[in-house]
Amino acid sequence: MFDLYGFGHLLFEGTLVTIELSLAALVCGLVLGLAGAAMKLSGLWPLRLLAGIYTAVIRGVPELVVILFIYYGGVILLNKFAHSLGYVGYINVNAFTAGVTALSLTFGAYATEVFRGAIAAVPANQIEAARAIGMRPRTIFRRILLPQVWRFALPGLGNIFLIIIKETALVSVIGLDELMRKADLAVGYTKKPFTFFLFAACIYLSMTAVAMLFQRGLERRANRGVAGRPMA
């Protein structure tokens, strides 16, 4: 491991936190995205309205504002709600939880539109044929919709995940000891900003490169057997 004036191990620890934050936001964001797409395609207008407000607000507000609102405003709202239920204690939200929540909301808002477009891209005659032979809705979703939705959605979801990896740096403003905060602390002690910020940039570049390679592997796997696509 690079020593980097004695701060190499701190950057390594910050990198691990960044990876954990990114993966947690990915998992939670995928769930939110699927739920949001289902609500937007629902026959119930209140669900469509709620999903539309969610995507419009989150995509229209800077991610830094979302992080600050979740970390500071979220604690206030959560405690007020808990007190209204009779809870007399104080609920604290740590920086990691706030960061995951904010980035998940961001990922989910963009993933909602990706999933909605992917579901709309599945040929309607396949769904109609499945219904005609008596398939249940769950079976249709599992055997017809989901495999094709992932194939159509993977490029868009991969691009969103790359953005989320880079936006983890914003969580440093609320005190989370991720990569960017560790690099900033090292700069404060050594007064060598070029060295540490360049090294942090190389780490971010490495993470995004690995994510892109993994995305390509998933796309090849999802496109196996599709006409006009290379076989893996």
Look up the pTM and report it. Answer: 0.88
Q: What is the pLDDT of residue 2?
A: 58
What CATH number did the domain enclosing 63 receive? Answer: 1.10.3720.10
What is the mean pLDDT of each successive set of 10 residues along the chain, which is 232 residues long? 76 94 96 93 91 95 93 87 84 90 96 92 85 84 82 93 95 92 91 91 95 92 66 40
Q: Residue 57 falls within a domain, yes or no?
A: yes
Predicted local confidence at residue 16, as pLDDT = 96
- The predicted pLDDT at position 231 comes to 40
Per the structure, the count of domains in the chain is: 1
- pLDDT of 232 reads 39
pLDDT of residue 230: 46
Q: What is the 3-state secondary structure (H, E, C) of the chain?
A: CCCCCCCHHHHHHHHHHHHHHHHHHHHHHHHHHHHHHHHHCCCCHHHHHHHHHHHHHHHHCCHHHHHHHHHHHHHHHHHHHHHHCCCCCCCCCCHHHHHHHHHHHHHHHHHHHHHHHHHHHCCHHHHHHHHHCCCCHHHHHHHHHHHHHHHHHHHHHHHHHHHHHHHHHHHHHHCCCCHHHHHHHHHHHHCCHHHHHHHHHHHHHHHHHHHHHHHHHHHHHHCCCCCCCCCC
Query: Looking at the domain assignment, is residue 148 inside a domain?
Result: yes
Place of tokens 């963009």: 110
CA-to-CA distance for 178 and 17, rounded, in angstroms?
5
| Position 129 in a domain | yes
Residue 11 resides in a domain: no
User: What pLDDT does residue 228 have?
Assistant: 55
Residue 188 placed within a domain:
no
Question: What pLDDT, on a 0 to 100 scale, did the predictor assign at position 18?
Answer: 96
In a domain, 230, yes or no: no
Domain that holds residue 64: 23-175+203-222
Q: Is residue 98 part of a domain?
A: yes
> Is 209 inside any structural domain?
yes
